[in-house]
Amino acid sequence: METITKTYNEAVATAVLDGLKAKEKSLPSWLFYDKKGDKLFQQIMRMPEYYLTDTEKEIIENNRDNFLEDFKGKDKKFDLVELGAGDGTKTEILLRHFCVQNADFRYIPIDISSDVLGDLKNRLSKRLPDLTVLPKPKSFYDALDDLDKKDSKKRVLLFMGGNIGNFTLEGATDFITELSKRLRTEDELFVGFDLKKDPRQIQLAYDDSQGITRAFNLNLLERLNTELDADFDISKFDHYPFYNPETGEAKSYLVSQEDQEVYFGVLDEKIVFDQWELIYTEISQKYDLDMISKMAEKAGLKIYRKYFDRKKYFCNIIFKK
């Protein structure tokens, strides 16, 4: 009899088995972003509870001129290097303004996905035809190491959207340190940090009334059903976000509603879940200025400028060597 072997992504399988076989179960948050997950995340960014989008947008809209002055090199030129193409809405506000002001700059978006970069380039070529866009479909570090060493033009690295929060504090410090090693004297690093605030406000951002974040988290299991032929019964897991106002850690979990077993067809592996057992799926670290200063110091960087929204919910910081 002919056997049909389903092809699957090794990296996904390894990450999933490592995470689910560990004593404290976890799944990596990069698994959120399949086609459905991308759509759900777009919806999250538009929800009223998810204040991060509007607060960073407010900062950018109110400070477009300041940013242009901050970013320009001594010769007035600069390269804007974005880490992660994201959905681009906030970056587009900056790009449009810089184009209108006739700034002498190029936009270099870095993303591991060439599809995402292709879409971005097409969109920008229609909306901002005069802008020079040089996409780099590579990992962040590889792309940065690949930038022309002889080009002395000032570089501004952008890491927006509060994405830094998806690292643990230690992971974020390591990441910023790696970026710092790649910055030259004139270069800058521009990062968006979501700040500590009323815990209820944060809890709501990750536990919205429409259940979009719940669907986003549970979609991880649907993805494993599709890609690894798993038999998760989604109705037997729930979304459980928890914010610790002291540490600033907003962590999301999936909680098993009963004792159960899940079989992964393509891997011929079985995973057992106890009732109320957790799967840790994401951290969204919130910061205060003290934490940011300490991180900068460890990474060998100085805080050059701080920009806040009116409510001081979010902060965009420019670091320099």
If one asks whether residue 282 binds ligand AVI (CB under 6 A), the answer comes out as yes
Mask of contacts with ligand AVI, 178-217, x by CB under 6 A? ----------------------------x------x--x-
Contacting ligand AVI (CB under 6 A), which of 27, 31, 44, 158? 44
Mask of contacts with ligand AVI, 45-84, x by CB under 6 A? -------x--------------------------------
Written as one string, the DSSP assignment of 14-68 is HHHHHHHHSSS-B--GGGG-SHHHHHHHHHHHHSTT-HHHHHHHHHHHHTHHHHH
Find how far residue 125's CA is from the centre of its chain.
24
Residue 180 vs 281, nearer CB to ligand AVI: 281
Q: What are the φ and ψ backbone dihedral angles of 151, each rounded to 5 degrees?
A: -80, 110
Residue 52 vs 278, nearer CB to ligand AVI: 52
Residue 166, both tokens: 């998806």
Cβ neighbors of 167 (< 8 A, separation 6 or more) are 174, 175, 283, 285
Contacting ligand AVI (CB under 6 A), which of 91, 180, 219, 284? 284
Mask of contacts with ligand AVI, 9-28, x by CB under 6 A? --------------------
- Alpha carbon distance 177, 313 (integer Å): 25
Residue 179 vs 212, nearer CB to ligand AVI: 212
What is the footprint of ligand AVI within residues 157-176 (CB under 6 A)?
161-163, 165-166
- Alpha carbon distance 288, 57 (integer Å): 20
What's the angle, vertex CA 130, arms to CA 117 and CA 79, rounded to 5? Answer: 60
Cα-Cα end-to-end distance for the chain: 65
- Alpha carbon distance 51, 309 (integer Å): 11
- Total of residues contacting ligand AVI (CB under 6 A): 12
What's the full length of the chain, in residues? 321
Residue 178, both tokens: 């790696």
Least separation in angstroms between CB 249 and ligand AVI: 11
Least separation in angstroms between CB 148 and ligand AVI: 30
| Residues engaged in binding ligand AVI (CB under 6 A) | 44, 52, 161-163, 165-166, 206, 213, 216, 282, 284
